[in-house]
Chain A
Amino acid sequence: MANAVLTIATDERVSARNPLQKLLVRPEIGALVGALVLFVFFSAIAPVFLQPSSLATVLYGSSTIGIMAVGVALLMIGGEFDLSTGVAVITSALSASMFSWYFSTNVWVGVAFALVVSLGIGFINGWILVKTKLPSFIVTLASFLMLAGLNLGLTRMIGGAVATPSVSDLDGFDAARVLFASTVKIAGVDVTITVFIWIALVAVASWVLLRTKVGNWIFASGGDANAARAVGVPVTKTKIGLFMAVGFCGWILGMHNLFAFNTVQSGEGVGNEFLYIIAAVIGGCLLTGGYGSAVGGAIGAFIFGMANKGIVYAQWNPDWFKFFLGLMLLLATIVNLIVKRRADSSK
């Protein structure tokens, strides 16, 4: 008995997976197919869509959603979501602008202050979540409302208007603009720097998710938090860290908004949180957590960018955009569901 070789017979009903099946189990496959279809569709009906300058515009539009979608996708894989992201972006931009304007400092001081504020918002969201064990829907809905109120209230209290004064005269503005809102010429086309920041963020997030132990913890925290805790994964730290990562992405986008337009409207940002979540969901992230990818979120954002600008290039009425977005969301999630069921159907 002691040294008997024990074997479980290999299940003859399971055949080896072929490469196509391997590709099909990738979380972002549904979004990839959708993106290709959409790309071909708009290329066919609006030839201007294929011009390099149009593509640069589409990419820019995608990047402003995609930068946030990276953080939001990671957070969703970690099993939570954040409704405060839309206004938190504006909070970040407001903090930087109001701080440097009110204290007449170099804008970089304001930029650093905004980073602290953004990470702080993420930390507080995560901390309240793990301490109270309330669903993230409630916690971040509350912070969404509070931040929206603070944005309006504090801006009027400090600056006396609904928009912040321009920061373009302050020291350091030009350098900050280069980092957050410049354009780079590639083959004669101006590409906004956010596109490159977006790509870099996706690459870093993918590496973290797939190749580091923190990535393992993110999947586990979202997949089964109790199981993860039982084998020694620091689930609370992981979740708080994810909210802070979302805060970091919000800071980058907030700084872009500030230095691209010099001033910030305090009432903006409401509703954008859904765009980020939609991008992540279209990209294959499960609402229940534990499944998804950073690349998927990026493809989701790209779909959004294509639909948004493609409708304009096709000279349709932009009123239809929201309907289109809703349809895309529904189709993409259904495709994801079918693909996932088929891939995991051996249960």
Chain B
Amino acid sequence: MNAKQIDQQQLLKDEKDPLTHTPVHLLSLENVGKHYGNIVALTDVTMAVDNGRVTCVLGDNGAGKSTLIKIIAGLHQHDEGVLHIMGEERKFGSPRDALDAGIATVYQDLAVVPLMPIWRNFFLGSELTSGFGPFKSMDVQKMKDITKKELADMGIDLRDVEQPIGQLSGGERQCVAIARAVYFGAKVLILDEPTAALGVKQSGVVLRYILQARDRGLGVIFITHNPHHAFPVGDRFLLLKRGKSIGYYDKKDITLDELTAQMAGGAELAELAHELEQLGGHGDIVKEVQAEVAEAASAGTPTQLRA
């Protein structure tokens, strides 16, 4: 349905985006697909990311969210379609390539080493060094100071950057990972289910950091299966199901209820109700499912972002 190309000019005209001075997207995917052997993990996905915008990718388990971010983060390579960075076609060979292009990923498991101190984790893979040749050593004091300052700027007051990062709470670790990406000049920040394992309060904290990162001018890709987390912070919503895009909406064209209904999959529920009826399933369950179908239908079909 939305396998056609995004009209980039159209998209930008529809949005007020003071941070984007170029007529191209910071990052865009067109008809991207990926298969592992004969298993198709992702087909025909089209989306865009811009400075100071949050693009949410929503989908249930196995919808292809992970595959999508692995392609953008350079862990896997796509087999179909094109990936553009600032209008230039790219295919990343390794996570390092993606990092060099300004794409930083905060993974579900956070890519932090629990036993290592916070400051070592903060600079891991991008250590500051001083000295020459074989006597190059790390600038430990400077790294500690920067870690402390960057975290303070994000509003995390840490007593001791020397403590193992495993001692921090899930939300705090998440925030350290975000602060790290921001400090190392990420232009695109990919957040893989950052709220999945967190409680309500901690989730709120992380959502606020997402907005902070956005306000700093980053293009954020927020992966989640929770529309209640996505809707308040997102500017655009890409819905995935079974490796396919089932909708790509601008915030002004969709409501939270509609988003939730789309996530729940109205058509599928209807099918299920029908099936249960045929099988002579339990009346109550059928009724329940039918009620949900009705609810989803009443939420209406929102206009899709022209894609």
Residues of A within 8 A of B (CB): 1-8, 10, 14, 16-17, 207, 211-213, 215-217, 219-220, 223-224, 226-233, 290-291, 344, 346-347
Cβ contacts B167-209/A at 8 Å (1 or 0 each): 1000110010000000000000000000000000000010011
Residues of B within 8 A of A346 (CB): 167
- Contact B155–A5 (Cβ < 8 Å): yes
Residues of A within 8 A of B157 (CB): 7-8, 10
User: Contact between B167 and A232 (Cβ–Cβ < 8 Å)?
Assistant: no
Q: Given A8-B205, A14-B159, A290-B116, check contact A213 B127 (CB 8 Å).
A: yes
Interface of A is mostly: loop
Q: How near does chain A come to B290, taking the closest CB pair, in angstroms?
A: 41
B137 near A207 with CB under 8 A, answer yes
State whether B124 touches A8 (Cβ < 8 A): no
Nearest CB of A to B117, in Å: 9
Size of B's binding interface in residues, CB under 8 A: 44
- The answer to the question of B31 belonging to the interface, with a C-beta cut-off of 8 Å to chain A, is no
A216 x B137 contact (CB < 8 A): no
Q: How far is the CA of A12 from the CA of B283 in the complex (A)?
A: 54
Task: For A227, give its contact among B109, B127, B171, B211 (CB under 8 Å).
Answer: B109
A residues in contact with B159, CB < 8 Å: 10, 14, 16
Give the distance in Å from the alpha carbon of A41 to the alpha carbon of B177 in the complex. Answer: 49
A17 B211 Cβ-Cβ under 8 A: no
Q: Judging by beta carbons under 8 Å apart, are A211 and B211 in contact?
A: no
B231 CB–A CB distance under 8 Å? no
A192 to B259, alpha carbons, bound, how many Å?
76
For B73, B110, B120, B160, the residue with the greatest tally of chain A CB atoms inside 10 Å of its CB is: B120
Nearest CB of A to B177, in Å: 9
Question: In whole Å, how far is A202's beta carbon from the nearest beta carbon of chain B?
Answer: 17
Q: Which of A7, A212, A227, A228 has most B Cβ within 10 Å?
A: A227
Contact B209 A17 (CB under 8 A): no
A290–B126 CA distance with the chains assembled, in angstroms: 19
Q: Chain A nearest CB: distance from B34 CB in Å?
A: 19
For this complex, 9 residue pairs linking A to B, each with C-beta atoms less than 8 Å apart, are A8-B172, A8-B205, A17-B160, A227-B111, A230-B111, A231-B99, A231-B125, A291-B115, A344-B167
Residue in chain B with minimal CB distance to A291: B115
- Given contacts A10-B159, A228-B125, A347-B167, whether A216 and B138 have CB atoms under 8 Å apart is yes
**Chain B contacts with A in 18-55, Cβ cutoff 8 A:** none
Please determine whether A8 and B215 come into contact, CB atoms closer than 8 angstroms: no
Closest-CB distance, B284 to chain A (whole angstroms):
45
Binding site for A on B (CB under 8 A): 73, 75, 95-96, 99, 105, 107, 109-116, 120, 123-127, 129, 136-138, 140, 154-157, 159-160, 164, 166-167, 171-172, 175, 205, 208-209, 211-212, 215
CA distance A216 to B119 in the complex (A): 11
Is B120's CB under 8 angstroms from A219's CB? yes
6 smallest beta-carbon distances between A and B, as pairs: A6-B155, A223-B113, A213-B127, A232-B125, A231-B125, A230-B111
Q: Which residues of A contact B73 (CB under 8 A)?
A: 230
In the complex, the answer to whether A290 meets B127 with C-beta atoms within 8 Å is no
CA distance A229 to B125 in the complex (A): 9
A53 smallest CB distance to B (angstroms): 38
Give the contacting residue for B105; candidates A2, A6, A230; CB below 8 A: A230
Q: Give the residues in chain B near A8, CB-CB below 8 Å.
A: 155-157, 171-172, 175, 205
Residues in B neighbouring A226, C-beta threshold 8 A:
109, 111
Give complex CA distance A185, B107 in Å: 58
Would A220 and B171 be within 8 Å (CB), given that A7-B157, A228-B125, A232-B95 are in contact?
no
Which of B113, B167, B171, B211 makes the CB contact (< 8 A) with A290? B113
Closest Cβ–Cβ distance, residue B149 to chain A (whole Å): 15
Which residues of A are found within 8 Å of B155, using beta-carbon distances?
5-8
Q: Which residues of B contact A3 (CB under 8 A)?
A: 215
Given known contacts A219-B113, A347-B166, A6 and B208 CB-to-CB distance under 8 angstroms: yes
Distance from A12 Cβ to chain B, minimum over Cβ atoms (Å): 11
